[in-house]
């Protein structure tokens, strides 16, 4: 009877999503000390709460997240770390449900596997209960895309543009929305008309980008604080590391796509011919030299991995194979709609300017890859979900017991 109810009812996935979120929240809510960068965000929130004349200078993003948090926490007499985590979680926890709404809007109704795959993305799941603003920055992207495909395009523009106030790199997802407008307007022989139509329909985006550019000019830097370490740096290592993370996360898909990859290499032999040039290019451009990615900061697993790769030719060679494999896998996996392929160049553009290598920066691309790709065999999709559940459990355990951080 219970099994029949679960199959016939549409409420059980929502309840299960909520239960997973609450379990993760419970694991970290009463954790005694601030984890990793939580301490920087908490200092900023505390400064705003206390009306400090000068805000801390070690947070690079606009203090929008911190101001909202401070306003809510000001309601309480004694704001505490668990309370701050609860407030942040109440907003972050909406992301899986918004993802479900977006899935339904683009024709993926009741795609439960995709819903739970998003929930268990190992780079996202541990951050729901923490005082971090990364999931908050993802939320406007999910809402804006849902509104766009619901036909509420002006609202989509305003919401996507509002995301700029949370994180500067949301600029590239504003561009992605503009690309979707352009693709909708362009029919192969009306380029000028399509461009004009896109600009007209996306005027809130252009207005927001103009204001954003003005703020950057007045500030003298894209980064609000920590300007010497968080400026713009066109570093390919960020893209390389994203591909490494994608290889680790999508390992079941990489293995399953081997036949398609071999077929591609047989049909497009130039991919093999450029290998020597690609190897030399990779070896000369892989550099993890940001001060926050130093080997001394070994608490962060990313730093251990980066320097394990950088100073060993063998591991660097293996890493190149991993990168190439990731690229070939994404080449062979189809996306649901032609306009979705704009995600790949936009992801590269979004990652290139960021000098600090951080897996948190990959949340939006990973969420959209999961959303846009075509569904593969059910057994493979289930395998990917199980794999992510295991990875998420390992990551959460590592953070919970202080063994390391992403």
Give the Cα separation of 193 and 122 in Å (integer).
43
Around Cβ 330, how many Cβ atoms within 10 Å? 19
Ranges of each domain in the chain: 2-231+376-400, 236-347
Model pLDDT, residue 1: 36
pLDDT tens digits, 148-188: 999 999 999 999 999 999 999 999 999 999 999 999 999 87
Q: Are 312 and 304 in contact (CB under 8 A)?
A: no
pLDDT score, position 7: 46
Residue 123: the pLDDT is: 96
Q: Are 161 and 204 a contacting pair, CB within 8 Å? A: yes
Percent of the chain with pLDDT over 90: 76
122, 395 contact by CB (below 8 A): yes
Q: Are 146 and 44 in contact (CB under 8 A)?
A: no
Query: Cα 320 to the chain's mean position, in Å?
Result: 23
pTM of the model: 0.94
- Between 9-23, 55-69, 222-236, 323-337, the lowest mean confidence (pLDDT) is in 222-236
Residue 239 pLDDT > 50, yes or no?
Answer: yes
| 178: CB partners within 8 A, 6+ apart | 198, 202, 205
State yes or no: pLDDT of 10 exceeds 60: yes
What is the per-residue pLDDT across 109-119, written as a single tens digit (0 to 9) for each? 778 899 999 99
pLDDT category, 369, cuts 50, 70, 90? Answer: very high
For residues 213 and 219, give the distance between their C-alpha atoms in angstroms, rounded to a whole number.
10
- Does residue 301 surpass a pLDDT of 50? yes
CB-based contact 245:347 (threshold 8 Å): no
Q: Which carries the bigger pLDDT value, residue 403 or residue 312?
A: 403
Which has the minimum average pLDDT: 15-24, 27-36, 131-140, 225-234?
A: 225-234
Whether the CB-CB separation of 284 and 206 falls below 8 Å is answered with no
Residue 160 region by backbone torsions, left for phi larger than 0, else alpha for psi between -120 and 50, else beta = alpha
Q: Using an 8 Å Cβ cutoff, are 144 and 364 in contact? A: no
How confident is the model over 108-153, as pLDDT tens digits? 777 889 999 999 999 999 999 999 999 999 999 999 999 999 999 9
pLDDT at position 192 over 60: yes
Q: Over the chain, what is the mean pLDDT?
A: 91
173 vs 189: which has the higher pLDDT: 173
Least confident of 111-125, 307-321, 383-397: 307-321
- pLDDT value of residue 9: 47
Q: How far apart are CA 387 and CA 249, in angstroms?
A: 8
Whether residue 94 has pLDDT greater than 80: yes
For residue 334, the 8-state DSSP code is P
**pLDDT score recorded for residue 367:** 97
CA-closest candidate to residue 178, choices 160, 202, 213 = 202
At 373, is the secondary structure helix, strand, or coil?
A: strand
Q: Coil, helix or strand for 111?
A: coil
Question: What are the tens digits of pLDDT across the range 277-299?
Answer: 999 999 999 988 888 998 888 89
| pLDDT score for 3 | 44
Contact present, 305 and 286 (Cβ < 8 Å) = no
- Arithmetic mean of pLDDT, 346-368: 94
Both structure tokens of 174 = 């504003």
User: Rounded distance, CA 30 to CA 102, Å?
Assistant: 32
Query: What integer is the mean pLDDT of 327-342?
Result: 95
**Which residue matches tokens 């895309």?**
145
Please state, in angstroms and rounded to a whole number, the distance separating the CA atoms of residues 169 and 349: 9
Rounded Cα–Cα distance for residues 144 and 142 (Å): 6
Residue range 63-69: mean pLDDT, rounded:
94
Phi, psi of 405 (to 5 degrees): -145, 160
**pLDDT for the residue numbered 170:** 95
What is the structure's pLDDT at 206? Answer: 96
Instruction: Identify the pLDDT of residue 6.
Output: 41
User: Which stretch, 308-312, 373-377, 385-389, has highest mean pLDDT?
Assistant: 385-389
């Amino acid at each position: 009877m219970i099994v029949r109810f679960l199959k016939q009812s549409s409420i059980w996935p929502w309840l299960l999503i909520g239960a997973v979120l609450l379990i993760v929240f419970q694991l970290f809510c009463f954790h005694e000390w601030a984890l990793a960068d939580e301490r920087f965000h908490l200092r900023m929130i505390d400064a705003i709460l206390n009306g400090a004349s000068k805000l801390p200078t070690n947070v690079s993003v606009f203090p929008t997240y911190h101001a909202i948090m401070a306003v809510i926490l000001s309601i309480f007499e004694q704001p505490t770390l668990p309370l701050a985590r609860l407030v942040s979680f109440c907003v972050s926890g909406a992301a899986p449900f918004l993802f479900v709404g977006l899935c339904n809007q683009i024709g993926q109704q009741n795609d439960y596997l995709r819903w739970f795959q998003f929930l268990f993305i190992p780079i996202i799941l541990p951050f729901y209960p923490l005082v971090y603003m990364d999931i908050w920055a993802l939320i406007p992207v999910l809402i804006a895309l849902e509104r766009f495909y619901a036909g509420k395009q002006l609202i989509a523009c305003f919401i996507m543009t509002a995301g700029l106030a949370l994180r500067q790199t949301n600029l590239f997802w504003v561009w992605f929305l503009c690309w979707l407008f352009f693709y909708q307007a362009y029919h192969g022989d009306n380029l000028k008309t399509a461009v004009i139509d896109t600009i007209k329909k996306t005027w809130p985006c252009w207005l927001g980008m103009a204001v954003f550019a003005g703020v950057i000019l007045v500030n003298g830097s894209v980064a609000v604080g920590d300007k010497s370490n968080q400026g713009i740096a066109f570093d390919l290592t960020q893209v390389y590391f994203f591909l490494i993370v994608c290889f680790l996360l999508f390992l079941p898909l990489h293995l399953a796509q081997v036949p398609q990859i071999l077929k591609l290499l047989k049909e497009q032999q130039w991919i093999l011919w450029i290998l020597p040039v690609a190897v030399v290019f990779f070896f000369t451009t892989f550099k993890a030299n940001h001060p926050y990615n130093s080997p001394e900061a070994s608490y962060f697993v990313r730093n251990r991995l980066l320097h394990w790769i950088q100073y060993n030719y063998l591991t660097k060679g293996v890493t190149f194979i991993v990168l190439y494999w990731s690229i070939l896998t994404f080449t062979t996996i189809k996306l649901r709609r032609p306009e979705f392929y704009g995600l790949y160049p936009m992801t590269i553009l979004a990652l290139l300017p960021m000098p600090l290598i951080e897996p948190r920066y990959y949340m939006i691309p990973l969420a959209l890859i999961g959303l846009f790709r075509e569904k593969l065999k059910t057994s493979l999709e289930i395998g990917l979900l199980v794999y992510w559940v295991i990875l998420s459990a390992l990551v959460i355990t590592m953070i919970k017991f202080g063994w390391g951080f992403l």
